[in-house]
Chains A and B, each alone.
Chain A
Amino acid sequence: MRQRAVATVIGVECAKLRDQLAPRVLLAVCAIGPFAFVAAMRLQASVPEDTLFGRGVKESGFATPLVVLGFATLWVIPVLTAVIAGDLFAAEDRYGTWGTLLTRSRSRSDIFVGKVVTALAFSALALAALAASSIAAGIVGIGSQPLVDLSGISLAPARAVSRIALAWASVLPPAFGFTALAVLLSIITRSSVAGVGLPVVAALAMQLSGYVDGPDAPRRLLMTYGFDTWHGLLTEPPFYRPLIYSTAASIAYCVLCLAVAHRVFGQRDINR
């Protein structure tokens, strides 16, 4: 019964997202952006040499999704996740619709879980769209030549695609972590601006902290650490330990943020 209740909430939230401009624009940017990037690469003589796999961007279409991934982990993924997750709860405050929503046949927990699942699903969908579009853009615009990995070994197309898919999948946990953070901030502040903006600021701050000297252990606890662990998947042999650490840290962030968010939301008086 509870699962059905949550599923109904998810359906309603998805229907609302379909009727809004922001999610559609975001998904369109995810779908079109990589093609625009490939078109720009083809037009210009130089390549982004300072970026991982940037040198090979004109030699193999499979380098494109990895260059895009490297770029996306800087700030695009926090933005993609926060724009929807940071607004999903705060929008009800902005429109004053909590009173309408919470006086139907669904409990507050059902509403919370339904909205959180919707936010996580949108984050996954946006990342999947960006990954699929990057792969397609690379193959269509450059070609399906073998990819030279970080160890200098040439990967056949099928193997390259599986590694690329794994690399994109590896950033899902930190992306979910930022989604959960956006949900939490959205609930606490009741402001879409804070819900969307603060996770992005937090991501930039975490990345900047990587440039500061200090012990490695605390850095591994930052969510942004998980944005770089895919490098280990593009070596021979691949190494997974950083990925495991960062995934565990991201899960911890998710659980902590959502537990606090549920508690705050569950105890909140709706006075507007």
Chain B
Amino acid sequence: MPEPALEALGISKRYPESDALSGVSLIANPGELHGLLGPNGAGKTTLLRVVLGLVRRDAGTVRMFGRLMDAPFGPMPDGVAGFVETPAFYPYLSGRRNLELLARLDDRRAASGAGVADVLERLALADAANVDVAAYSAGMRQRLGIAACLLRSPRLLLLDEPTSSLDPASAHALRQLVRRLAADGVAVVLSSHDMSEVEALCAAVTIIDHGRVLYSGTIDGLRNVAPGAAHALHTSDDRMALTLAAARPGLRVTAAVDRDGLDVVADTASLDAYVLALAQIGVAVRTLEQRERSLESLFLQLTSGPTKDAAVPLPPRNPLHAAEVSS
């Protein structure tokens, strides 16, 4: 079993007005794409700030490649890179100059020329390399932030919402890059509030909300406890459709609260059988629209409690977390 690239255990951070983090743990292994998922304000960015040494933790330990990070605000260890929120640079300097200065701070002066040119090329910023950062778009700054991370030849990369300001093509290119890095053995922690992005990229996920871990484990493990996808259903006779549903397993149908029609939560097979059964009793299906995919349903449940829109049963929170963490 390789040593974890990142082992943050029992991290707590308290601000005067709130507990930002309460005993949060996050373990990322080499070559792993680990999603850090949660709604806005869940504590994802604070956790990354703690790990990156920008914010002092009140409790807990952080180890990077087995090395205990016990000196507050020390230098970032070699091979560790990351950013929180939109990365910021000196606007009166060009993108290239910004990276050259950062490379100097990393003792990469000799290699900075080639290294800077290489990362600018990889992030499609070569054409804008000599333009002042003041003229960069948010997406370009985000790419420059990733370029600044790559300068450190990371083995552990911590990215906070890295695609939030990117256009679809740039976001796709970044995901490809992140996959390649993970394939090369880099541990990547990817913070996001977008379940679909994490699901598409990551093999493991930690879901947090209100500063507490709700789930930590594999995406597959999450799928196993996820309910079926949520759908909006309109029929010619909703009352008959509800009555039929009550007798069928693997299916949860409720009257929609905020609109006409029904909310249906079911796996694909159960949903198909239900639609065929409706036809057999003479109830026409007028529209059937998927509202949330299954992991999104679970994510919403975990982070928002039982939502009316999702209309799915809420699995137990702590036992789920405990089971995954202990395994």
Does A pair with B?
Answer: yes
Q: Does B75 contact A (CB under 8 A)?
A: yes
Q: Does B325 contact A (CB under 8 A)?
A: no
A99–B106 Cα distance when bound, in Å, is 15
Task: Report B-chain residues with C-beta under 8 Å of the C-beta of A106.
Answer: 75, 105
The residue that B88 contacts in the complex, of A5, A95, A266, with Cβ under 8 A, is A95
Task: Report A-chain residues with C-beta under 8 Å of the C-beta of B52.
Answer: 99, 103
Contact check, A102 vs B89: say whether CB atoms are below 8 A apart.
Answer: no
Contact check, B106 vs A104: say whether CB atoms are below 8 A apart.
Answer: yes
Contact check, A107 vs B88: say whether CB atoms are below 8 A apart.
Answer: no
Contact check, A19 vs B82: say whether CB atoms are below 8 A apart.
Answer: no
Task: Report B-chain residues with C-beta under 8 Å of the C-beta of A104.
Answer: 75-76, 102, 105-106, 152
Q: Does B237 contact A (CB under 8 A)?
A: no
Task: Report B-chain residues with C-beta under 8 Å of the C-beta of A99.
Answer: 49, 52, 54, 83-85, 87-88
Task: Report A-chain residues with C-beta under 8 Å of the C-beta of B54.
Answer: 98-99, 102-103, 269-271
A180–B50 Cα distance when bound, in Å, is 30
B109 — nearest CB in chain A belongs to which residue? A8
Task: Report B-chain residues with C-beta under 8 Å of the C-beta of A271.
Answer: 49, 54-55
The residue that B90 contacts in the complex, of A11, A97, A108, with Cβ under 8 A, is A97
Contact check, B55 vs A8: say whether CB atoms are below 8 A apart.
Answer: no
Task: Report B-chain residues with C-beta under 8 Å of the C-beta of A15.
Answer: 101, 104
A20–B132 Cα distance when bound, in Å, is 12
How far in angstroms is the closest Cβ of chain B from A270? 4
Q: Does A46 contact B (CB under 8 A)?
A: no
A271–B54 Cα distance when bound, in Å, is 8
Digit string of B71-83 for contact with A (CB within 8 Å is 1, else 0)?
1011110100111
Contact check, B105 vs A12: say whether CB atoms are below 8 A apart.
Answer: yes
Digit string of A95-118 for contact with B (CB within 8 Å is 1, else 0)?
111111111111111100000000
Q: Does A181 contact B (CB under 8 A)?
A: no
Stretch at the interface among B91-99, B118-126, B264-272, B273-281: B91-99
Contact check, A20 vs B49: say whether CB atoms are below 8 A apart.
Answer: no
A99–B76 Cα distance when bound, in Å, is 12
How far in angstroms is the closest Cβ of chain A from B160? 10
Query: A20-B92, A97-B90 in contact; A103/B53 too (CB < 8 A)?
Result: yes
Q: How many residues on chain A are close to B (CB under 8 Å)?
A: 31
Q: Does B324 contact A (CB under 8 A)?
A: no
A96–B83 Cα distance when bound, in Å, is 12
A111 — nearest CB in chain B belongs to which residue? B105
A102–B37 Cα distance when bound, in Å, is 25
A15–B91 Cα distance when bound, in Å, is 14
CB within 8 Å of B: which A239-272 residues: 266-267, 269-272
Contact check, B75 vs A107: say whether CB atoms are below 8 A apart.
Answer: yes
A267–B56 Cα distance when bound, in Å, is 8
Q: Does B107 contact A (CB under 8 A)?
A: yes
Q: Does A159 contact B (CB under 8 A)?
A: no
Q: Does A9 contact B (CB under 8 A)?
A: yes
B94 — nearest CB in chain A belongs to which residue? A19
Contact check, B92 vs A266: say whether CB atoms are below 8 A apart.
Answer: no
Contact check, B73 vs A105: say whether CB atoms are below 8 A apart.
Answer: no
A19–B93 Cα distance when bound, in Å, is 7
A20–B82 Cα distance when bound, in Å, is 27
B105 — nearest CB in chain A belongs to which residue? A104
Task: Report A-chain residues with C-beta under 8 Å of the C-beta of B56.
Answer: 267, 269
Q: Does B148 contact A (CB under 8 A)?
A: yes
A96–B92 Cα distance when bound, in Å, is 13
Task: Report A-chain residues with C-beta under 8 Å of the C-beta of B145.
Answer: 100
Q: Does A42 contact B (CB under 8 A)?
A: no
Query: A9-B105, A102-B73, A106-B105 in contact; A96/B88 too (CB < 8 A)?
Result: yes
Task: Report A-chain residues with C-beta under 8 Å of the C-beta of B91.
Answer: 95
A106–B107 Cα distance when bound, in Å, is 9
Contact check, B107 vs A103: say whether CB atoms are below 8 A apart.
Answer: no
Contact check, B90 vs A105: say whether CB atoms are below 8 A apart.
Answer: no
Query: A100-B83, A105-B78 in contact; A12/B55 too (CB < 8 A)?
Result: no
Task: Report B-chain residues with C-beta under 8 Å of the C-beta of A16.
Answer: 90, 93, 101
Contact check, A95 vs B53: say whether CB atoms are below 8 A apart.
Answer: no
B100 — nearest CB in chain A belongs to which residue? A15
A102 — nearest CB in chain B belongs to which residue? B54
How far in angstroms is the closest Cβ of chain A from B141? 10
A103–B90 Cα distance when bound, in Å, is 15
Query: A99-B84, A99-B87 in contact; A11/B73 too (CB < 8 A)?
Result: no
A266 — nearest CB in chain B belongs to which residue? B73
B: residues with CB less than 8 A from A are 49, 52-56, 71, 73-76, 78, 81-85, 87-93, 97, 101-102, 104-107, 145, 148, 152
- Between-chain CB contacts (< 8 Å), 15 pairs: A5-B75, A12-B101, A12-B104, A15-B104, A95-B91, A96-B88, A97-B89, A99-B54, A100-B89, A101-B105, A103-B54, A103-B83, A109-B73, A267-B56, A269-B54
Extra pairs beyond A9-B105, A95-B91, A97-B89 (15, CB < 8 Å): A5-B75, A11-B104, A16-B90, A16-B101, A100-B87, A100-B88, A100-B102, A103-B76, A104-B102, A107-B73, A108-B73, A110-B75, A269-B55, A271-B49, A272-B85
> Closest 3 A-B residue pairs measured CB to CB?
A96-B88, A108-B73, A270-B54
